[in-house]
């Protein structure tokens, strides 16, 4: 890669930090970031000393704006879309079922796929000025990385359908009321994370196994892939391509 699109490190508390470093692209996801996530999740699974996985974005403007449309707008057919969507869907299933607790530190805007990434995590903390929403419907598609299936596991039914169907953006405090955000804070500090995950890696991993077992029994992966299939069907429709064209043209103005 010509630029470092991701920063990773393991801190003194044995927390693995994954920071998307594309602030000029509002920390959007491209194939390089996907591959970095695959590598990092593999490290966490293999290193039993790691106690938690933290994902965030660089800067204070964006956590993640979802897929990089300047890259993915080249995908036109259902098959092309499914190849990309299912790749990220598999990654987010791996993140959802990571054997340690996971936290999305939402340091700014989290929209579209950014909210799907957040939904795959066990907890979501957001800075007070964050704005977030599943806005995919504005582009004529549904959640494309399995986000709706994961969201249903994390918030009450009424909150999930509201967030998905409205395609609205919410403030951090509104998202707390919906049950999507667990903490709205003025800044993130390591002490709060230490207090949240105070027990050993072995204990943390044992608790996480119980949740993973539940998701395996309810066929979460299959549900996510079925959801992604539906999105890929909508992806090749004119409504989606026309909406993306308008979006990209507005960005140039």
Domain enclosing residue 61, as ranges: 6-189
User: How far out from the chain centre does Cα 39 lie?
Assistant: 16
- pLDDT at position 214 is 97
Residues 117-161 pLDDT 10s:
999 999 999 999 999 999 999 999 999 999 999 999 999 999 999
Q: What was the pLDDT predicted at 2?
A: 53
Q: Structural domain tally of the chain?
A: 1
Supply the pLDDT for residue 90: 98
Q: How far apart are CA 192 and CA 121, in angstroms?
A: 17
pLDDT tens by residue, 77-88:
999 999 999 999
pTM over 0.85: yes
Determine the pLDDT at residue 1: 43
Residue 249: pLDDT band (50, 70, 90) is: confident
The pLDDT, as a whole number, for residue 40 is: 98
**Is 138 inside any structural domain?**
yes
pLDDT at 30 over 90: yes
Residue 75 lies in a domain: yes
Position 253 pLDDT exceeds 80:
no
Q: Is residue 3 over pLDDT 90?
A: no
Assigned domain for 137 exists? yes
Q: Is residue 243 part of a domain?
A: no
CATH number reported for the structural domain that contains residue 101 in this entry: 3.90.226.10
Backbone φ and ψ of 132, nearest 5°: -145, 150
Domain assignment present for residue 68? The answer is yes
pLDDT tens figures, 39-72: 999 999 999 999 999 999 999 999 999 999 889 9
**Confidence check: pLDDT of 248 > 60:** yes
On average, the pLDDT of the chain sits at 96
- Domain presence at residue 122: yes
Residue 12 falls inside a structural domain: yes
Contacts of 247 (CB under 8 A, 6+ apart): 69, 139
Percent of the chain with pLDDT over 70: 99
User: Is 86 part of any domain?
Assistant: yes
pLDDT in tens, 172-203: 999 999 999 999 999 898 899 999 999 999 99
């Amino acid at each position: 890669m010509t630029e470092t699109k991701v920063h990773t490190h393991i801190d003194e508390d044995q927390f693995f930090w994954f920071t998307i470093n594309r602030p000029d692209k509002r920390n959007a996801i491209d194939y390089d970031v996907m591959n970095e996530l695959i590598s990092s999740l593999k490290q966490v699974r293999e290193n039993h000393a790691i106690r938690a996985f933290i994902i965030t974005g660089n800067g204070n403007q964006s956590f993640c704006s979802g897929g990089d449309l300047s890259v993915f707008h080249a995908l036109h057919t259902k098959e092309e879309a499914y190849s990309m969507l299912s790749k990220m869907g598999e990654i987010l299933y791996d993140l959802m079922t990571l054997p340690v607790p996971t936290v999305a530190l939402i340091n700014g805007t989290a929209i579209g796929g950014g909210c799907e990434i957040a939904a795959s995590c066990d907890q979501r903390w957001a800075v007070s000025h964050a704005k977030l929403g599943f806005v995919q419907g504005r582009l004529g598609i549904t959640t494309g990385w399995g986000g709706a299936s994961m969201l249903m596991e994390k918030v009450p039914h009424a909150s999930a359908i509201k967030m998905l169907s409205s395609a609205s953006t919410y403030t951090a405090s509104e998202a707390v009321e919906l049950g999507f955000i667990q903490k709205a804070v003025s800044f993130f500090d390591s002490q709060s994370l230490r207090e949240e995950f105070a027990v050993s890696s072995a204990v943390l991993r044992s608790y996480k196994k119980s949740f993973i077992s539940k998701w395996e029994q309810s066929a979460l992966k299959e549900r996510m892939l079925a959801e992604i299939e539906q999105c890929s069907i909508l992806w090749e429709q004119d409504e989606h391509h026309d909406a993306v064209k308008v979006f990209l043209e507005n960005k140039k103005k």
